[in-house]
């Protein structure tokens, strides 16, 4: 099992590795050292990428809170009129508050 898997994994690796090698070979003619990689600009690009993604994510969450706070509720398949029902409940619960006293005094 493991050996089969090993072959499965390594097959594309060979292909990729060879491709890369030929690509690097091409670069060599342009007198670029294939063994030196510009890690500094890679770092900066990567970080910029991360920050952008992060900001996008935050924006997404904030947009949810500001504009479409109702959307989440509506997304769920619900019986129509459910929302009104909750609104009614709220009113009832608020208005009902003095009742325990009434009960006690009665």
Residues that bind another protein (CB under 8 A): 2, 5-6, 8-10, 12-14, 16-17, 20, 37, 39, 42-43, 45-47, 49-51, 53-54, 56-58, 60-61, 63-64, 71-72, 75-77, 79, 85-86, 88-93, 95-106
Please identify, using beta-carbon distances, which residue of 31 and 91 lies nearer to another protein. 91
Query: Nearest distance from residue 28's CB to another protein, in Å?
Result: 14
Query: Nearest distance from residue 16's CB to another protein, in Å?
Result: 5
Please identify, using beta-carbon distances, which residue of 29 and 101 lies nearer to another protein. 101
Could you tell me the maximum CA-CA distance found in the chain, to the nearest angstrom?
99
CA dihedral 27, 20, 25, 23 (to 10 degrees): -50
Looking at residue 76, the DSSP 8-state letter turns out to be S
State phi, psi for 33 to the nearest 5 degrees: -70, 115
| Cα–Cα dist 96/106, whole Å | 16
């Amino acid at each position: 099992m493991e050996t089969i898997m090993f072959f499965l994994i390594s097959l594309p690796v060979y292909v990729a590795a060879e491709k890369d090698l030929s690509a690097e070979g091409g670069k060599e003619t342009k007198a670029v050292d294939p063994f030196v990689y510009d890690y500094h600009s890679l770092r900066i690009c990567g970080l910029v990428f991360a920050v952008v993604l992060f900001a996008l994510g935050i924006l997404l969450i904030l947009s949810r809170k500001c504009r479409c706070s109702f959307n989440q509720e509506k997304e769920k398949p619900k019986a129509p009129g459910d929302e009104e029902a909750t609104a009614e409940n709220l009113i009832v619960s608020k208005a009902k508050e003095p009742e325990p006293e009434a009960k006690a005094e009665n």
